[in-house]
Every structure is written in structure tokens, then in C-alpha cells.
């Protein structure tokens, strides 16, 4: 587990643009089952989260369409919340960072680590915007 003081700035990158941090399995269940669309980001301390995932997620929100709900869990810190989120991302294997879009509790779009790592944040943002256009 990572120390909380180490991940605070990484949490803040998403929180300052409206992502709600989830810490428990119950929080995750309620968020994913919410009516409308919910973007769930499994945040991470890795370089591809810093360079690609968090900036891409932030950029994806500058369009006309966006999810109704924005939530995040932190791998290596919020174990119960991360485990609960990953159960809803099945059949995709656990990866962090990762991003999942749910519509009325159903997984409709998924970006795994291999879709994020090595790809520019702009490409990730465009991928998410395409999902928002289709599902939001």
C-alpha cells in the first residue's frame, strides 16, 4: 500500500476537475449503479497514469458531451474500492491505470493499461470523447 501523503497530488489531479474519490466497495456499487453514465478511473502511481491517463481523462471533459458521474479509485491504496470496481469491469483483467464507462450500471467502454501506456494523452482523450458521443 502506498502512503496517503504520496498519492495526494495524484488524487488531486482528478478531484480538481470533478472526479469523486471512492474509498469503499459500497461507494463503488452506488456510483456504478447510478442512473446515467459513470466514468470510473482506476488511478495509479505509475508513469503512464501521470503522463497519459490523468491528463487524457482531464482533456476528455472539454467537449459538449461528458459522463453524468465522474469517479475514481486508487490502485495500491483503496483496495476494497478497487476490487469492487474491477469486478464490474469483468471480463477485462485487472490493470492500472484503466478507465471504464458505465451506462445505467452496464460496462459500455473500456480502456485497459495497454490502451493507455505509450499513447499520448490527446489520443486517450479522443477515445473517451468518442465513447461519450456514443453513450452519453
| SS (HEC) of 86-97 | HHHCCCCCCCCC
Q: Give buried/exposed letters for 29-46 (b at 16+ CB in 10 A, else e).
A: bebbeeeebbbbbbbbbb
Active site residue 136: no
Determine which one of 28, 40, 46, 99 is catalytic: 46
Catalytic residue from among 22, 32, 48, 57 = 48
Q: Specify the length of the chain in residues.
A: 136
Task: State the catalytic residues.
Answer: 46, 48
Amino acid at each position: 500500500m502506498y502512503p496517503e501523503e504520496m498519492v495526494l497530488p495524484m488524487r488531486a489531479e482528478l478531484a480538481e476537475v470533478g472526479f469523486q474519490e471512492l474509498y469503499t466497495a459500497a461507494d463503488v456499487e452506488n456510483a456504478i449503479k447510478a442512473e446515467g453514465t459513470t466514468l470510473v478511473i482506476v488511478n495509479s502511481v505509475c508513469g503512464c497514469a501521470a503522463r497519459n491517463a490523468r491528463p487524457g481523462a482531464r482533456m476528455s471533459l472539454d467537449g459538449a458531451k461528458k459522463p453524468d458521474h465522474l469517479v475514481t479509485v486508487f490502485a495500491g491504496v483503496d483496495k476494497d474500492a478497487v476490487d469492487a470496481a474491477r469486478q464490474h469491469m469483468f471480463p477485462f483483467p485487472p490493470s492500472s491505470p484503466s478507465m471504464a464507462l458505465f451506462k445505467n450500471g452496464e460496462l459500455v467502454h473500456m480502456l485497459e493499461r495497454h490502451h493507455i501506456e505509450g499513447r499520448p494523452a490527446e489520443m486517450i482523450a479522443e477515445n473517451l470523447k468518442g465513447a461519450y458521443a456514443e453513450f452519453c
